[in-house]
Structure 1
Amino acid sequence: MTQHASDIGEAPAGLGAETLDAIRRSVGTRSRRWLLAITLLLGLLAAAAVTAGVRPADRTFAALSEPVQMLMSVTVPFLGALLANDLRRAPRTPRLAPTLLAAALLAAGAGVFGVLACAGALAVASPATAQDPWSHAGTVAAGGVLVQVVAQLVGTGLGLLMRSPVVASLASVALPLGLWAALGGVDVLRPAQEWLTPYAAAQNLLSGRMSAVMWAQWLVVLLVWGRGLNAAGMARLTRIV
Structure 2
Amino acid sequence: MVQHGTVGRTLRRAVGTRARRALLVVTIGVGAVAAALTAGLPSDERTVATVAELVHGVISVLLPFVGVLLAHGLRQAPGARVLPTLAAAASIAVAVGLAGDALSFAALAVAGSTAPDPWAHVGAIVVAGVLVQVLAQLVGTGLGLLIGRPVWACLATIVLPLGAYALLTPVAAARDWLTPYAALRAVLAESPGDAGWARWATVALLWGVALNGVGAVLRRHRASHGRATTVA
TM over 0.5: yes
Q: Is the 2:38–2:107 Cα contact (8 Å) retained in structure 1?
A: no
- Inter-partner Cα distance in structure 2 for 1:139 and 1:131: 18
The residue identity in structure 2 corresponding to 1:205 is V
| Alignment partner, residue 193 of structure 1 | 175
**CA-atom RMSD in angstroms:** 1.5
Query: What is the CA-CA distance between 1:232 and the residue it aligns to?
Result: 0.6
| Alignment partner, residue 195 of structure 2 | 213
Deviations 1:11-66 (A, max 9, x none): 528x8xx1011111001111111110100001111001112x01222211111101
- Inter-partner Cα distance in structure 1 for 2:2 and 2:217: 21
- Inter-partner Cα distance in structure 2 for 1:119 and 1:178: 30
- For residue 59 of structure 1, the aligned residue among 39, 46, 52 is 46
- Normalised to the residue count of structure 2, the TM-score between the two structures is 0.92
Runs of at least 5 residues in structure 1 that lack an aligned partner in the other structure: 1-9
Instruction: Report the 3-state secondary structure (helix = DSSP H, G, I; strand = E; otherwise coil) of the residue aligned with 2:99.
Output: helix
- Normalised to the residue count of structure 1, the TM-score between the two structures is 0.89
- Inter-partner Cα distance in structure 2 for 1:157 and 1:170: 13
Deviating beyond 3 angstroms after TM superposition, the runs of 4 or more aligned structure 1 residues are none
- Inter-partner Cα distance in structure 2 for 1:211 and 1:30: 41
Query: What is the CA-CA distance between 1:125 and the residue it aligns to?
Result: 2.2
Instruction: Name the % identity.
Output: 45
Spell out the pairing of 1:1-241 with structure 2 (5 A cutoff). 11-12=2-3, 18-51=6-39, 53-90=40-77, 92-126=78-112, 128-184=113-169, 186=170, 189-241=171-223
Instruction: Report the 3-state secondary structure (helix = DSSP H, G, I; strand = E; otherwise coil) of the residue aligned with 1:79.
Output: helix
Runs of at least 5 residues in structure 2 that lack an aligned partner in the other structure: 224-232
Query: What is the CA-CA distance between 1:84 and the residue it aligns to?
Result: 0.1
Instruction: Report the 3-state secondary structure (helix = DSSP H, G, I; strand = E; otherwise coil) of the residue aligned with 1:94.
Output: coil
| Alignment partner, residue 7 of structure 1 | none
Deviations 1:170-199 (A, max 9, x none): 101100111111011x3xx32101111010
- Inter-partner Cα distance in structure 2 for 1:208 and 1:145: 16
- Inter-partner Cα distance in structure 2 for 1:122 and 1:44: 12
Instruction: Report the 3-state secondary structure (helix = DSSP H, G, I; strand = E; otherwise coil) of the residue aligned with 1:203.
Output: helix
Deviations 1:64-115 (A, max 9, x none): 101100000000000000000000111x332111100100010111110010
